[in-house]
Every structure is written in C-alpha cells, then in structure tokens.
C-alpha cells in the first residue's frame, strides 16, 4: 500500500513537471515575458514610491514610473523605448511649469499712446505721449506691448488716474518697457450692441509665443433674477453669442458653440451658477469652462504663422456679439491657460 502511494505521488509530480515545461515552452515560443518590480526610492522624502514595470517581446520594451504619492509636486515621467532594429525613443511627461496667463477677451479701440520714458519695474506710474491728446482716461483698461523688445509678453492694467501724460495704474510695472512702447486702450465689456453690426472680441498670443487655452471664466451681472430660459436676466437672444477659433494661416473658422440663454451656456461649458444679490447689490451668473475636463483637449493658438488669415497671421479665439446686450449690466470673459514651452 505504501509503495502504491509513493508511486502515485511520483506520478503527480511528474505530471506537474510536464505541465510546467509546456507553459515555459509556450512562453518562449511567443517571445513575450512580463516582469514587474517595485522599489522604494532612496530619497528621504516620505511616502514617495517608484513603481516600474517592464514588458518585453520582439525587441521592444516599455518602462513607466510613478513618483508622487505625497502632496509634494513631483514630476511624472513616462519613458518608452524601442530596441533592436526599431531604434530608440524616450518620452517624458511632467508637470507643466511654463508661464500661466489669464487674459480678457477684448476689442482694440484704436486709442493709443506711447511711453515717453522707460518703464521702471515696481513703479505704478508710466509717462506717455502725446501728453495732452492721448485720449486715455481714468477707468480705461490698457494693453501694453513692445513685441520688438519683448516678443513673448504683454501687460494689461487698469488706469486709476490721469494727470497730463502720467498714467497711474492699478498694478506695478513688471518690465523695463522701452521708450516708444505702445499703450492701447482695450474694451473688455461684452454687454454691447451687436444687433446692427456684429462686434468681435478676441484673445490671442503675442507673436513670439503660442497659447494653450485650457478654459474660460465667464461673469455676468444682472439687474433682476436670472434663470435657464433667459440670457442673464434678459429674454433669450435672437442670434446669440458664439465663440469661434480663427486660423491665422488659412483664415478658416471653427465655431465652438452659440449661446442664446443661460441654459445654452450650461450645455456648452458644463458649470453655471446663479448668485443672489447681497443687500442692495446685483444678481450674477458665473460660468467655468474646463476644456480639459469637459473635452479632454486644450485649444492651441499660434502667435505667428506664415499666413494672412487674421491680423498679423496669428490664431485668435473670438466671441461674436450679434444682439443688443446693453440691458445686461456687465458681461466679461477671461481666457486662461499657459504659454507653450518647448
């Protein structure tokens, strides 16, 4: 009896060995292997773990690492490598660190002046010319730019006071703008009359930069209570307000949506809230358009192209006003995102 039991054990062991050899031969035949290894980083930062996985087969290898299980921002890197005759490719995806922007949709008014003196960084005043006839008044919004010297940047500021050729601004000068720098009044108000001639408000990058627009912040101030059937607190619009991208190379237009009611705005951007007035204040409509969260994309705007599709051959995002919106107390939109980095 003992001999039979021993023989039975040997048979089962032999069968197990045969099965294991078959599996190994199958894996070798298909030339695929999976190896997973996890290691703890030797850096002293707590709770940071590096997990690596390698998949190999046919001369290709994919390796990825995750380094950030703490609240401290740590770059995420993805490396893809192809070996043998396929060459090699390394790809790194890490936290975005290029300059952010928040720039209002605006119309250029044509009211301009130039700096009479070099801008002093940290000061709140600038000197412009012509001294008495520049046309800039208190409460204006000005767009300061000198693309010959600073091709990748600009400044937007509000004018607090004007005394002859001295403009007092609501924020400090941030660059040593040279003499001759353009100071232009822009209008950021979308509550205007576009019923006769449609009005176009734009945002665009400077010629030396590209923008990745990741979203919009929308603010409307209403005299009475808004709801989904109205535009702010007014009746539904006839033609509507629509947003589009104009390609600076070809001039082609890409319409992104038309807004005739607050409900339309919610359908387009996803998040709209109504704010009750406080005391003797006003009602408000607020909208946040998260392009990455809602659509999974950013909108790339090129600062300069070889074409003549728009002014200076640049890409533009545009809000088109086609109705009389002057009964709305205020309507403003700001584009947010980051400057594209190499």
Q: How confident is the model at residue 115 (pLDDT cuts 50, 70, 90)?
A: very high
Residue 129 has pLDDT above 90, yes or no: yes
Q: What angle do CA 168, 172, 177 make, to 5 degrees?
A: 90
What is the average per-residue pLDDT within 310-319?
Answer: 83
Q: How confident is the model at residue 70 (pLDDT cuts 50, 70, 90)?
A: very low
User: Quick check: 194 and 187 in contact, CB under 8 A?
Assistant: no
Q: How many of the other CB atoms lie within 10 Å of CB of 173?
A: 20
Q: How many of the other CB atoms lie within 10 Å of CB of 67?
A: 16
Q: How confident is the model at residue 27 (pLDDT cuts 50, 70, 90)?
A: low
Between 167 and 9, name the one with better pLDDT. Answer: 167
What is the average per-residue pLDDT within 44-49?
Answer: 38
Residue 300 has pLDDT above 80, yes or no: yes
Residue 98 has pLDDT above 90, yes or no: no
User: Quick check: 62 and 81 in contact, CB under 8 A?
Assistant: yes
Domains and CATH numbers, the chain: 2-86 (no CATH), 107-187 (2.40.30.240), 189-342 (no CATH)
Give the Å distances, CA to CA, from 303 to 39, 137, 315: 44, 30, 6
- Model pLDDT for residues 157-178, shown as the tens digit of each residue: 999 999 989 999 999 999 999 9
Residue 151: what pLDDT? 84
Residue 142: what pLDDT? 97
Residue 251: what pLDDT? 82
What is the average pLDDT value for the chain, to the nearest integer?
80
Does this model's pTM top 0.75?
A: no
């Amino acid at each position: 009896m003992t001999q039979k039991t021993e023989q039975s054990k040997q048979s089962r062991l032999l069968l197990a060995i045969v099965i294991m050899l078959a599996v190994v031969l199958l894996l070798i035949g298909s030339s695929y292997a999976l190896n997973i290894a996890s290691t703890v980083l030797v850096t002293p930062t707590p709770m940071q773990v590096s997990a690596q996985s390698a998949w190999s087969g046919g001369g290709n290898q994919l390796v990825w690492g995750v380094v950030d299980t703490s609240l401290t921002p740590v770059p995420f890197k993805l490396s893809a490598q192809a070996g043998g005759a396929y060459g090699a490719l390394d790809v790194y995806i890490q936290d975005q660190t290029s300059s952010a922007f928040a720039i209002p949709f605006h119309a250029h008014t044509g009211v301009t002046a130039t700096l009479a003196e070099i801008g002093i960084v940290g000061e709140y005043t600038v000197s412009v010319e012509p001294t008495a006839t520049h046309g800039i008044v208190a409460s204006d919004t000005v767009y300061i730019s000198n693309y010959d010297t600073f091709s990748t940047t600009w400044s937007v500021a509000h004018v607090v006071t004007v005394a002859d050729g001295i403009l007092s601004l609501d924020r400090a000068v941030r660059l040593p703008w040279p003499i001759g720098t353009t100071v232009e009044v822009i209008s950021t108000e979308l509550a205007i009359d576009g019923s006769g001639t449609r009005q176009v408000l734009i945002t665009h990058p400077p010629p030396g930069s590209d923008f990745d627009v990741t979203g919009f912040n929308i603010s409307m101030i209403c005299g009475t209570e808004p709801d989904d059937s109205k535009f702010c607190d007014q009746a539904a619009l006839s033609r509507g307000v629509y947003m589009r991208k104009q390609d600076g190379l070809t001039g082609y237009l890409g319409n992104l949506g038309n807004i005739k009611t607050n409900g339309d705005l919610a359908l387009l951007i996803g998040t709209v809230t109504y704010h009750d007035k406080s005391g003797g204040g006003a009602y408000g409509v607020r909208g946040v358009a998260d392009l990455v969260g809602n659509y999974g994309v950013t909108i790339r705007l090129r600062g300069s192209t070889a074409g003549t599709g728009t002014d200076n051959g640049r890409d533009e995002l545009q809000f088109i006003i086609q109705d009389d919106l002057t009964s709305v107390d205020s309507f403003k939109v700001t584009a947010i995102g980051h400057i594209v980095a190499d």
